[in-house]
């Protein structure tokens, strides 16, 4: 039952994360990347503070776990997501999404190294099938490719994979809301000087659409999604959770059709079926596994 709940959390999480690409584009039209992140984290920290207060599950963080909170906040929520936003700003959305879909590979490898989780043959098959689907849908991007954008996106993948492993290390001892709140609190503090420095060269305009985008990114895209992600990591292996990543660019493509009036093509249909097949392999063949604790 817990695994089924974990899968539901994952589907919701990646639907939300898939929407972030579309919503971020609205805000990035008039706002600088780190200013967008600053407002996003102010909103998300406020929302998570209220949620944790209502849940009444806050406990003191053990001394030996503080380093993991710092890793999650500094490398995961600040540097990794900062790189993701910069990559999205510099690249075609399709290429940025494709690079981000490489997370399953890096998370599985790091989980194997640091958490002792096993990579099963079915996991490898799921990753390959899903990523082939992602590639068919999105291709390799179009137009001029920014080397800086590619580098930023790759760094985002690697750092977020490391942060996810750190979350898995401490997920059994704390409420996922508390982990998300403390991690984002660290990211918020680091974002302040970054946004101030950026403002000197890249001004931001606060239009109604940009502000609404920031509120959505802060509450739904950050506070809700990252809490659900942390809850998923508490119920399932990090490597299993990572295999749902290909749903993110699929969601982005679907939302692009509705909100950006993109046309459904043969590669979208074929790629979408492959992504669903890859996820089904994960869901159908992990029912008898024991969730491995760190």
**Model confidence at 70: pLDDT above 80:** yes
Question: Cα(38)–Cα(34) distance, rounded to whole angstroms?
Answer: 6
pLDDT band at residue 59 using 50, 70 and 90 as cut-offs:
very high
What pLDDT, on a 0 to 100 scale, did the predictor assign at position 264?
65
What pLDDT, on a 0 to 100 scale, did the predictor assign at position 213?
92
Ordered alpha helix ranges (H), the chain: 2-28, 33-55, 66-70, 81-90, 93-100, 103-115, 121-138, 147-170, 176-199, 208-216, 225-235, 238-242, 247-259, 266-284
Question: Cα(65)–Cα(78) distance, rounded to whole angstroms?
Answer: 19
What pLDDT, on a 0 to 100 scale, did the predictor assign at position 98?
66
Question: Cα(114)–Cα(278) distance, rounded to whole angstroms?
Answer: 25
What pLDDT, on a 0 to 100 scale, did the predictor assign at position 145?
65
Domain extents for the chain? 2-284
What pLDDT, on a 0 to 100 scale, did the predictor assign at position 290?
40
**Model confidence at 114: pLDDT above 60:** yes
What pLDDT, on a 0 to 100 scale, did the predictor assign at position 186?
95
Q: Any residues with CB less than 8 A from the CB of 200 and at least 6 apart, and which?
A: none
Average pLDDT over residues 218-231: 88
**Model confidence at 19: pLDDT above 70:** yes
Average pLDDT over residues 58-79: 92
**Model confidence at 26: pLDDT above 70:** yes
Using a pLDDT cut of 90, give the percent of the chain over it. 28
261-277: per-residue pLDDT in tens? 766 677 767 877 887 78
79-110: per-residue pLDDT in tens? 999 998 888 888 766 667 767 767 776 777 77
What pLDDT, on a 0 to 100 scale, did the predictor assign at position 124?
79
Contact 272, 133 (CB under 8 A): yes
pTM of the model: 0.74
pLDDT band at residue 292 using 50, 70 and 90 as cut-offs:
very low
Q: Is 190 exposed, middle or buried (0-12, 13-18, 19+ CB in 10 A)?
A: buried
Q: Any residues with CB less than 8 A from the CB of 4 and at least 6 apart, and which?
A: none
Contact 94, 151 (CB under 8 A): no
């Amino acid at each position: 039952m817990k695994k089924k709940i974990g899968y539901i959390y994952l589907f919701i999480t990646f639907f939300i994360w898939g929407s972030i690409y579309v919503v971020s584009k609205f805000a990035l039209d008039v706002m600088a990347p780190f200013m967008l992140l600053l407002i996003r984290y102010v909103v998300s920290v406020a929302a998570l503070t209220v949620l944790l207060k209502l849940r009444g599950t806050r406990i003191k963080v053990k001394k030996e776990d503080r380093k993991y909170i710092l890793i999650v906040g500094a490398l995961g929520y600040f540097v990794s997501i900062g790189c993701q936003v910069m990559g999205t700003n510099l690249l075609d959305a399709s290429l940025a999404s494709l690079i981000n879909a490489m997370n399953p590979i890096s998370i599985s490898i790091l989980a194997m190294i640091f958490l002792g989780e096993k990579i099963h043959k079915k996991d490898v098959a799921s990753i390959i099938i899903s990523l082939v689907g992602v590639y068919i849908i999105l291709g390799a991007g179009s137009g001029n490719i920014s080397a800086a954008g590619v580098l930023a996106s790759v760094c985002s993948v690697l750092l977020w994979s490391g942060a996810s492993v750190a979350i898995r290390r401490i997920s059994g001892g704390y409420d996922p809301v508390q982990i998300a709140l403390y991690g984002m609190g660290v990211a918020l503090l680091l974002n302040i000087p970054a946004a101030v420095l950026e403002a000197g060269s890249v001004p931001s305009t606060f239009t109604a659409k940009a502000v609404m985008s920031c509120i959505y990114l802060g509450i739904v895209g950050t506070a809700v999604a990252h809490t659900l992600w942390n809850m998923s990591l508490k119920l399932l292996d990090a490597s299993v959770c990572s295999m749902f990543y290909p749903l993110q660019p699929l969601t982005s493509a679907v939302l692009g059709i509705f909100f950006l009036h993109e046309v459904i093509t043969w590669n979208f249909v074929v790629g979408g079926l492959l992504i669903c097949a890859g996820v089904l392999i994960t869901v159908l063949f992990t029912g008898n596994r024991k969730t491995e604790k760190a």
